[in-house]
Amino acid sequence: MKTKKLIRKMRAFLSADRRAQAKKVDSLDKILIKLEKKEASLREKLDGEDKKSRRQELLQKLEVLEAQRKKGKKLREELEATGDDA
């Protein structure tokens, strides 16, 4: 294969990789928004709940959501950082 053709193939491969990465970031954004909405919903339920056992259950769910959102944000930042490097 000639050099120009190899370079063209490599560029196509890299741009496809960037597109896939951008798609992942978009997908992560949508998931993070849904998690935020779910978290707000749980907080509302928590405020209206009087039963101690139910409040504890809601708090545990809330902690899990917060942890997942934190992980998602970190992953999104990493994906954006590697996308900027390319």
Give how many domains the chain has, as a whole number.
Answer: 1
Give the Cα separation of 77 and 71 in Å (integer). Answer: 10
Q: How confident is the model at residue 1 (pLDDT cuts 50, 70, 90)?
A: low
> For 44-73, what is each residue's pLDDT tens digit?
999 999 999 999 999 999 999 999 999 999
pTM of the predicted protein model? 0.76
- Note down the domain range covering 14: 3-85
Query: Which DSSP symbol is given to 7?
Result: H
Q: Is the pLDDT of residue 15 over 80?
A: no
